Structure 1
Amino acid sequence: MSVTDVDVVIIGAGISGLGAAYRITERNPGTSYVILERRDQIGGTWDLFRYPGVRSDSSIFTLCFPWEPWTGQERVADGADIRDYLSATAGKYGIDRHIQFNTHVRSADWDSSTDTWTVTAERDGAETTYRGRFVFFGSGYYNYDEGYTPDFPGLNEFGGTVVHPQHWPSNLDFRDKKVVVIGSGATAMSLIPSLAEKAAKVTMLQRSPTYLFSAARTSKPTNAVRKVLPRRISHLFARQSNALMEGVIWFLARKTPGFVKWWIRRIALRYLPEGYDVDTHFKPRYNPWDQRLCLIPDADLYTAIGEGRAEVVTDHIDHFDSTGIDLTSGRHLDADIVVTATGLQLQALGGVTVSIDGAEIKPQDRFVYKAHMLEDVPNLFWCVGYTNASWTLRADMTARATAKLLAHMNSLGYTHAYPHLSGEPMPEKPAWDIQAGYVLRAPHALPKSGIKRPWNVRQNYFADAIDYRFDRVEEAMVFGRAEEKSALAG
């Protein structure tokens, strides 16, 4: 069996993996790497999700790479355009030449005698092996194979089509059909306006409301600045101004939830028909940002409701029958198609089995160091974005921190490095501070967060950005060389 030897094995060819490849080689020229992608295209999440209306749920200026400007006019971008951007970027910088597609990583084992990772994958039905000094997981935080669908009573009696947005059939014809979308998260909010353009009727069925925030699809100030300043400077302005705006909204929601509730309600009243029951369908029981705030560009959902193309029903499912859904209120929803926009399933490290010298470790049992390394696990990095801001804001910080550590180790001849928690036991807190269903269903699916730096996983981009600027690469880290261990053993 052949073995491919590189310096870094990167898992995933989405935003995280492509960003890691760029940052690592930018700071460490000559570093060899391979990107293992289980799908047959670049894009990660943006290749997986193909449902109608899929789009960015934060500003594209913060979701795109800081080193490759977004050239489109819109602030909220369609999924297909994001996928094209990622493919073009990978081609421009030669990253695509390092990608091996249809390669499903199954395991990664650290050999402490040689200070290397052996990564085993399945490629086109055959087992393949890769060996590297470092491994970078850009595989996200959820299960790509299965979304979450509750066990609805009588679902097998339904005579229509049931589809989960995570695996949207390319040939699904919803024109002139009655469609019920179960769920009230970002996916449902993206789906419904698009479905309503062709379907006979679209009904959003929710158990409880979600906070929606409307913003313009394009930003006039940003586009004005882009016309007069060089591309990279205007891109920096767009990126930082949008990050600041999103950060301010989150801060206000946390510090003045009453004001933000009023603000969001005023937006709803402005766009919804006069006399609409806003408090039943768009007044959540929780505070803003206890769950992620859903972005609706140009109030498109409210517009679809106002035009009679979409309806919101707040109720509970009693059971399915052959023609639709019976609700606990006694109402029946006729449906030809039911879309279960009911969420994701959390998964650490893409479901890859990780071991050290043949002994499997559980990521859930380890504390996270600076939000991207695991306690006592050498030379392993994992990229996970923010819950309250664009994924790429933290992904790029993670990529730069990885590149910085590799440069430090290379300069001093170290072959392994791992964060170590010493001293008193560290109290634990949730790594994600939102009450989303996919988090509450699996509270121990992800590694642990402590309450003190560098073990505290924060959801605060600006605080993390300051920390990164003054970061000490040796803080709470153990460094060593493989030959030193060999000498001690001899």
Structure 2
Amino acid sequence: MGAEQGSRIAATVTDWLGRFEAALASGDPGRLAPLFLDDAHWRDVLALTWRIATVSGGEAVAGDLARLGRERRLRGLTIHPDRCPPRIVARAGVEVVEAMIGFETDVGRGSGIVRFRLDRGLDTPRAWTLLTALDELRGHEEATVRAAREGPVFERDMHGPNWLDRRQAARAYADRDPAVLIVGGGHAGLTIAARLGQLGVDALVVDRMARVGDNWRLRYHGLKLHNQKHSNHLPYLPFPETFPTYIPKDMVANWLELYVEALEINFWTGTAFEGGTYDDEAGCWTARLRLADGGERVMRPRHIVMATSVSGTPSLPEIPTLERFGGSVVHSSGFGSGADWRDRDVLVFGTGTSAHDIAQDLHGSGARVTMIQRSPTLVVNIEPSAQLYDGVYLGDGPSLDDRDLINASMPLALMKVAHRLLTDEVREIDRPLLDGLEKAGFRLSFGEGGTGWPLLYRTRGGGYYFNVGCSDLIAAGRIPVVQNADIEGFEGGGARLADGRLLQADLVVLATGYKGQDHMVRSLFGDAVAERAGPVWGFDLEIQELRNMWTRTGHPGLWFTAGAFSQCRNYSKYLALAIKAEELGLVGPG
């Protein structure tokens, strides 16, 4: 884009922002409505609603903005001086002007994105999408807190407590309880702990594993991250450039351990969270912790953040007659190494990521392995196909913070359109592999409405596989696939098929996933808390957002975080701001 065109676009955006702010000041939806297309979407991340929510339709957007914009004193709207300048890009198959904006509210400063469709004209532009996201709370900015924490450069008393003494005392919690108890020490728990630390909120992470990073370190031997390094950085401390594109599990584990030390995160290993009860009058939890030495510690945090992703409880479907099988049965969580089953027969139930990886490990170790497919599964080649959905993070261009803002700015309806277009493209790229899989008897899915793997992840937490070689083995007939419906029953030596053949087996691996966070909440807090909090994960179609993720839930003081590295990096910022706002009394709990 040339300088002259860039100036014209910037002038158009500036003019729209001026008219938008004037209409907001009036509080009149009738003045706001002409500024938005009839099919407009507004996504708010804490800035005006204290929640994460999307409103669709020009009149609905205008009505809500007229009320909330005036209540929250939305003002100072301008093209953001420190972010990517306005430009022409394609979003959801449409060419748009995309502009990053800055603004202020009654409590802080924010950033956002506004888009105008080029095919609807720019003479009198009407916004197609608008994002408003809170960046910081006025007077409680991260840099200010960090400077306050540093203290004097040198201690006058050289024999007094030094940095290590203070860190050990902070971690011990001998004379205090944390404001926030974070349950789960993977990347989800560590990102919210790091964000809270930079906001001056006292937070403790607890994890039942013996060592930081064990939730990655102890998984199956060949595991690597299945998306590329550039989308997986953690806040404040990105992965080194020397790290490989696809990071191995042990490298991830060691980095998480380093991250805890570098970011001064308070972390108790070997500590199991055994449940909690909430005191509405006192506004705090009574949380029970089982310590590494077998003792118990009771804490009374004001907030509990569940960062365990899944319950850790294996999902074990009822498989008729499996009890008759004479060999070993193990859930994928308990599977060790394929080398233990060399020259033996193994049935792997499931066709998701873990099932494929375990089957490939077994095959490579010399086992005779057959996969049992229970339902159609989405398969994409890891390169380039799977990575195309992370397109906002590919190539040169805006900073990582800007890319995260772009990612947050896409409303669900347009995300579905974009992913449907990508999935059509991916199906053509992967056509030879997909044809081979179908010929081998593998049933394929392409996601909800053909939208690919990302929405499967957000609704089911699985149901797909990034092909790193196992699909090629299936297509070549080296790993057979049998449909579960074709199994008549189990007997001592294996599975008997409806056509009379026996699938011999020494081991059955149940790669059938885990029970979700709803199960975890009920088991740890009871039915009353679970009902009050509401469902977790999957979409709330009324607000077009993931249910109860990174935002206030129906239960005061109970929060959830989960998801990919990129999601946790991005949304931990907003979750931390929401908790800090409650700590400051800017918004009431729940």
- TM-score for the superposition, normalised by structure 2: 0.56
Show the counterpart of 1:143: 311
Match of 2:329 among 141, 162, 166: 162
The aligned residue for residue 131 of structure 1 is 300
Q: 1:174 to 1:77 in 2, by over 3 A?
A: farther
- Offset, 1:376: 4.9
Structure 1 residue 214, shift from structure 2 partner: 0.6
Alignment of 1:310 onto 2:502:
no
**C-alpha separation between the residues in 1 aligned to 2:394 and 2:426?**
30
Which residue matches 2:344? Answer: 177
Structure 2 matches for 1:249-328, cutoff 5 A? 251-252=416-417, 255=420, 260=423, 263-264=426-427, 267-270=430-433, 277-278=438-439, 280-284=441-445, 287-288=449-450, 289=452, 291-292=456-457, 294-298=464-468, 300-305=469-474, 308-316=477-485, 317-328=487-498
Residue 250 of structure 2, aligned match among 76, 80, 90: 80
Paired residue for 1:200, among 360, 363, 367? 367
Cα 1:54–1:211 change in 2 (3 A) is: same
Instruction: Specify which of 402, 416, 423 is matched with residue 575 of structure 2.
Output: 402
Question: Is the 1:7–1:133 Cα contact (8 Å) retained in structure 2?
Answer: yes
Partner of 1:101: 269
**1:37 equivalent in alignment to 2:207:** yes
Which of 183, 195, 207 lines up with 1:11 in the alignment? 183
Match of 2:589 among 418, 421, 425: 418
Deviation, 1:268, is 4.6
Deviation, 1:122, is 1.7
Write out aligned runs for 1:403-482 (5 A).
403-411=576-584, 417-419=588-590
Contact residue 107 and residue 354 of structure 1 kept, 8 A: yes
Letter paired with 2:559: F
Q: 1:100-119 residue pairs with structure 2 within 5 A? A: 100-119=268-287
The reply to whether residue 381 of structure 1 matches residue 559 of structure 2 is: yes
Secondary structure of the corresponding residue to residue 577 of structure 2: helix
Instruction: Pick closer, same or farther for the CA change 1:270–1:370 going to 2, 3 Å.
Output: closer
**How much does 1:379 deviate?**
2.7
Is the 1:207–1:315 contact (alpha carbons within 8 Å) kept by the matching residues of 2? yes
TM-superposition CA deviations, 1:389-413 (whole Å, max 9, x none): xx2343334422232234434555x
Do the aligned residues in 2 keep the contact of 1:11 with 1:138 (CA within 8 Å)?
Answer: yes
- SS of the equivalent of 2:177 reads strand
Q: 1:334 is matched by which residue type in structure 2?
A: Q
**CA offsets per residue over residues 144-172 of structure 1, 9 Å max, x none?**
1x312223233233232222111224697
Q: One-letter code of the match for 2:416?
A: F
Once residues 278 and 114 of structure 1 are traced to their aligned partners in structure 2, the CA distance between those partners, rounded to angstroms, is 63
- Give the distance between the partners of 1:193 and 1:170, measured in 2 at CA: 11
CA distance in 1, matches of 2:409, 2:550: 23
The TM-score normalised by the length of structure 1 is 0.66
- Relative contact order (C-alpha < 8 Å, sep 6+): which is higher? 1
SS at the partner of 2:317? coil
TM superposition shift of 1:340: 1.0
AA in 2 matched with 1:251: K
Q: CA deviation at 1:374?
A: 5.2
Identity of aligned residues (%): 22
Q: Which residue of 2 aligns with 1:344?
A: 514
Return closer, same or farther for 1:325/1:89 CA change in 2, 3 Å cut-off.
same
RMSD over aligned CA atoms reads 4.1
Once the 2 structures are TM-superposed, how far is the Cα of residue 197 of structure 1 from its aligned partner? 1.0
Q: Which moved more, 1:181-190 or 1:308-317?
A: 308-317
Q: Does the aligned pair in 2 maintain the 1:7–1:134 contact within 8 Å?
A: yes
Q: Return the alpha-carbon distance in structure 1 between the equivalents of residues 576 and 320 of structure 2.
A: 51
CA shift in 2, pair 1:329/1:183, >3 Å: farther
Distance 1:60 1:93, change over 3 A: same
Structure 2 match to 1:23? 195
Equivalent-residue separation in structure 1 for 2:284 and 2:316 (angstroms): 39
| 5+ residue gaps, structure 2 | 1-173, 458-462, 536-546
1:238 shift after superposition: 8.7
Kept in 2, the 8 Å contact 1:197–1:309? The answer is no
Question: Retained in 1: the 8 A contact 2:349–2:371?
Answer: yes
- Do 2:338 and 2:362's aligned partners in 1 also have CA atoms closer than 8 Å? no
Cα distance, 1:19 vs structure 2:
0.8
Quote the Cα distance in structure 2 between the aligned partners of 1:362 and 1:9.
Answer: 17
Matched, 1:210 2:373: no
Amino acid in structure 2 at the alignment position of 1:301: C
Post-superposition Cα deviations, 1:248-290, rounded to whole Å, max 9, x if no partner, equal 996357645xx836843661525876xx643841434974347
TM-aligned CA distance change 1:184 to 1:12, over 3 Å:
same
